[in-house]
């Protein structure tokens, strides 16, 4: 969609014809597969299981070419990300580790390593202290990569069974379900930057009033741009600095109640 300007439905059909997408692509395009994976990775990374069904999940099935084009003009790429991060907490007073986990289309700056993950390739980006940023990258679709992953799983299972036969039981680290209690924070507490595209009337002062609605709720705006002004209206694109999603929803409720604003046409996260 980004490189050739092709519509979503056409790209999906091509991916299915090439064997990269299933006949029923819901697991991939609606984010369910990514949510399964981030649930597993979250347990491995933070030491405790999380409720898979409670992970906010948004796929790319409603992504519009217009927003992919605007992202390019603004210096971003759009990718489907599954994110898990530990929120600040006092380990001495909290018995459960608060985690912000979600799956959603995300605008990524062009200089970010994930912006260069294209085609059938997947990537896992890990950020920590003191290791910094590490990325694991490789093909994630097609007959070869899929067969390799299946064989790797078989060998892992065989190795675990053999270890159990030698020791009389499974390795304690493999058998342990978790060593830490973790919980998902309320989605309204998740902190992130936001891209929002509004459909609005092309009238004087509408951008200022939208900006005031954000400012009244303590939301700092990185940029606000008007696209495609015409007799039928205008599209106003706003990118915010990092805020809670509770603040964001409050602002969107106020803005969409304005007579000049026809509605929210798109809402994506930003790195």
Q: What CATH code is carried by the domain that includes residue 216? A: 3.30.70.260
Nearest to 194 by CA among 167, 217, 165: 217
Residues 70 and 137 in one domain: yes
Per the structure, the complete domain to which residue 169 belongs is given by: 144-175
Burial of 9 (0-12, 13-18, 19+ CB in 10 A): exposed
Q: Tell whether the model's pLDDT for residue 173 goes beyond 50.
A: no
Mind listing the pLDDT tens digit for each residue in 16-73?
A: 888 777 888 888 889 999 999 999 999 989 988 899 999 999 999 999 999 999 999 9
Mind listing the pLDDT tens digit for each residue in 90-101?
A: 554 568 899 999
Mind listing the pLDDT tens digit for each residue in 112-142?
A: 999 999 888 899 999 988 889 999 998 877 7
Any idea which residues carry the catalytic annotation?
37
Q: Tell whether the model's pLDDT for residue 1 goes beyond 90.
A: no
Give residue 92's pLDDT: 47
Please, are residues 66 and 5 in contact by the beta-carbon 8 Å criterion? no
Q: Which domain-ending residue is among 118, 153, 175?
A: 175
Residue 191 Ramachandran class (φ > 0 left, ψ -120 to 50 alpha, else beta)? beta
Average pLDDT, the chain: 87
Please, are residues 199 and 260 in contact by the beta-carbon 8 Å criterion? no
Residues 40 and 133 in one domain: yes
Q: Tell whether the model's pLDDT for residue 171 goes beyond 60.
A: no
28 within domain boundaries: yes
Residues 192 and 263 in one domain: yes
156 within domain boundaries: yes
**Helix H or strand E segment including 33:** helix 32-46
Q: Tell whether the model's pLDDT for residue 172 goes beyond 60.
A: no
Give residue 164's pLDDT: 63
DSSP for 127-150, please give it: EETTTEEEEEEEE-SSHHHHHHHH
Stretch 133-152: mean pLDDT, rounded? 84
Token representation of residue 198 = 């509004």
Residues 96 and 206 in one domain: no
Residues 112 and 99 in one domain: yes
Query: What whole-number percentage of the chain has pLDDT above 70?
Result: 91
pTM: 0.82
- Interatomic CA distance for residues 18 and 235, integer angstroms: 36
For position 41, which CATH number holds?
A: 3.30.360.10
Question: Going by DSSP bridges, is the β-strand pair 132-139/121-128 parallel, antiparallel, or unpaired?
Answer: antiparallel
2 within domain boundaries: no
180 within domain boundaries: no
Instruction: Give 132 or 228, the one with higher predicted confidence.
Output: 132
Residues 23 and 120 in one domain: yes
- Interatomic CA distance for residues 23 and 34, integer angstroms: 18
Residues 86 and 205 in one domain: no
* Cis peptide preceding 130, ω within 30 of 0: yes
User: To which residue do tokens 């799956």 refer?
Assistant: 103
Give residue 233's pLDDT: 85
Give residue 163's pLDDT: 66
Apex 97 CA angle, 92 and 101, nearest 5: 155
């Amino acid at each position: 969609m980004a490189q050739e300007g092709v519509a979503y439905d056409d790209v999906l059909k091509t991916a299915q014809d090439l064997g990269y997408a299933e006949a029923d692509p819901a697991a991939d395009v609606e984010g369910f597969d990514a949510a399964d994976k981030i649930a597993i990775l979250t347990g491995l990374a933070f030491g405790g299981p999380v409720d898979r069904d409670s992970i906010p999940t948004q796929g790319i099935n409603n992504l519009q070419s217009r927003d992919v084009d605007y992202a390019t003009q603004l210096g971003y790429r759009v990718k489907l990300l599954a994110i898990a991060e530990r929120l600040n907490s006092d380990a001495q007073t909290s018995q459960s580790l608060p985690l912000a986990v979600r799956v959603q289309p995300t605008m990524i700056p062009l200089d970010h390593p994930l912006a260069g993950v294209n085609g059938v390739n997947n990537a896992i980006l890990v950020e920590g202290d003191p290791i910094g940023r590490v990325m694991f990258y490789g093909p994630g679709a097609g007959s070869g990569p899929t067969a390799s992953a299946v064989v790797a799983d078989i060998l892992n299972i065989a190795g675990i069974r053999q270890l159990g036969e030698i020791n009389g039981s499974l390795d304690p680290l493999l058998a342990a379900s978790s060593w830490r209690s973790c919980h998902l924070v309320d989605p309204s507490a998740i902190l992130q930057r936001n891209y929002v595209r509004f459909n609005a009337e092309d009238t004087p002062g509408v951008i200022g009033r939208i900006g005031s609605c954000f400012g009244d709720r303590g939301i700092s705006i990185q940029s606000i741009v008007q696209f495609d002004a015409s007799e039928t209206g205008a599209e106003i694109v706003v990118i915010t600095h990092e805020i809670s999603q509770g603040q964001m929803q409050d602002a969107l409720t106020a803005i969409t109640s304005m007579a000049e604003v026809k509605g929210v046409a798109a809402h994506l996260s930003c790195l």
